[in-house]
Amino acid sequence: MNVSINKRPQSPNSWHYRELNQKNPGLDHLSNGLISLVEAGHEIMAGSADLQYSNGLNRFAARYPDRYVGFGISEQNMVSAAAGIATTGMMPYVATFASFLGLLTCEQIRMDVAYCALPVRLIGHHTGIAMGFYGTSHHATEDIGTMRSIADLTVVSTADGPQLEAAIRASIDHDRPIYFRTGRGREPDLYDPKADFVFGKAIEHAQGEELTIIACGLPVHPAVQVARRLNAAGRSVGVIDMATVKPIDRDAVLEAAARSKLLMTIEEHNILGGLGAAVSEVLTDEGIGKRLIRHGIRDEYALIAPPTHLYRHYKLDEDGIEEVVRNAIG
């Protein structure tokens, strides 16, 4: 029997992950931001724990091999080493899945990064339920909660790749440790990568008297679409992107509470410990008895499904968010 050995798959629909990454780089904005920092003459480096094709840092590594360190599958070692690097005046940007950074390396982040107040940049990508059917080990629905409770750590949740790129560029002037929480980089773009990112400042997309949505991360884009649609139909719904979850923009929360009858937080995270909790803390501190609806993952482990199916199931896509907002405002 004659078996012909093909050097490549025959169908153009077959693919392997390196090829896919080249065609559709996903988080290419991360490398773009870092490359622009090196080009501007900043002493930075980047590292990853065996995920350079997932977070696109292979592009940074190819461009600046002397500024890239592959740590292999050793996330704790990577975080602690990044802290060591930061002691010398070089600013490290290290990336891996948010599920690992937010939980597996939690103690290294607390002890070596935050407690030592070292300007390490931690980039937790594929956060929330973006990993879909890879399952709970790869879902990160607790990372805002863990990172937010670590003193001296700034927590940023970006809504899309361009916002991450802007935040990465802005981070060069930020002397504190930062945890960036970001998606797959395949979200629809809402922001301009050249726009200024201001740490600690919420971004207002719409004002509304009936309800203000305070969102972060992936749900920001669908929330903006929903508000646009509802407001065009005569309703009054506001949207705030609370990209910096910590320190939270208290003024933005208080203004929304003063303007709107209802508040709703939307996050790709457990409703315990995350953005909803952060907003409710502000309201409680100020003694404001405003109804706050916390929308997100309701203290459970997400199901297995492709990401888009999960967003539909947990009402985090446009249709789902429209439904929960309509239910709230009647």
Partner 1 sequence: MLRRKRDLRHRGIGGNSLSNELRNDYRPSEATIARLRDRAQFVRLETIRLIEIAKVGHYTSVFSAAEIFSALYYDVMKLGQDPKEPSRDRFLMGKGHAAVGLFPILADLGYLSAELLNGYTRLGSPLGDHPDMRKVPGIDFSSGSIGHALSNGLGMALAGRMQGLDFTTFVMLGDGEMQEGQVWEAALGAAHHKLDRLIAIVDRNGYQLDGAVDDVIGIEPLDEKWRAFGWEVQVVDGHDVAELTAALRRAKADRSRNRPCCIIARTLKGKGVSYMETEPGWHLGYLDPVDADAARAEILSKVI
Applying CB under 8 A, the residues found at the interface with partner 1 are 43, 45, 66-67, 69, 71-72, 74, 76-90, 92, 107-108, 111-112, 115-117
Q: Which residues of 197-211 are buried (b: 16+ CB within 10 A; e: fewer)?
A: bebeebbebbbbebb
> Do 98 and 127 touch, CB atoms closer than 8 A?
yes
Q: Which two tokens stand for residue 13?
A: 């629909």
Q: Which is nearer to partner 1, 81 or 168 (CB)?
A: 81
Q: How far apart are CA 15 and CA 68, in angstroms?
A: 27
Which DSSP helix (H) or strand (E) runs through 165? helix 161-170
Q: Minimum CB separation from partner 1 for residue 83, in Å?
A: 6
Task: For 250-286, give the DSSP string.
Answer: HHHHHHHHHH-SEEEEEEEEESSSSHHHHHHHHHHHH
Q: Which is nearer to partner 1, 70 or 255 (CB)?
A: 70
Q: How far apart are CA 107 and CA 149, in angstroms?
A: 12
Q: Which residues of 115-132 are buried (b: 16+ CB within 10 A; e: fewer)?
A: eeebbbbbbbbbbbbbbb
Q: Which is nearer to partner 1, 45 or 215 (CB)?
A: 45
Q: Minimum CB separation from partner 1 for residue 76, in Å?
A: 5
Q: Which residues of 257-275 are buried (b: 16+ CB within 10 A; e: fewer)?
A: bebbebbbbbbbbbbebbb
Task: For 183-195, give the DSSP string.
Answer: --S-SPP-S-TTS
Backbone angles phi, psi at 19, to 5 degrees: -60, -45
Q: Which is nearer to partner 1, 114 or 156 (CB)?
A: 114
Q: Minimum CB separation from partner 1 for residue 90, in Å?
A: 5
Q: Minimum CB separation from partner 1 for residue 161, in Å?
A: 27
> Do 87 and 110 touch, CB atoms closer than 8 A?
no
Q: Which is nearer to partner 1, 83 or 166 (CB)?
A: 83
Cα Rg of the chain (Å, integer): 20
Which residues neighbour 327 within 8 Å (Cβ) at sequence distance 6 or greater? none
Q: Minimum CB separation from partner 1 for residue 117, in Å?
A: 6
Q: Which is nearer to partner 1, 108 or 141 (CB)?
A: 108
Q: Which is nearer to partner 1, 61 or 129 (CB)?
A: 61
If you count them, how many residues does the chain have?
Answer: 330
Q: Minimum CB separation from partner 1 for residue 70, in Å?
A: 9
Q: Which is nearer to partner 1, 77 or 231 (CB)?
A: 77
Q: Minimum CB separation from partner 1 for residue 97, in Å?
A: 17
Q: Minimum CB separation from partner 1 for residue 89, in Å?
A: 7
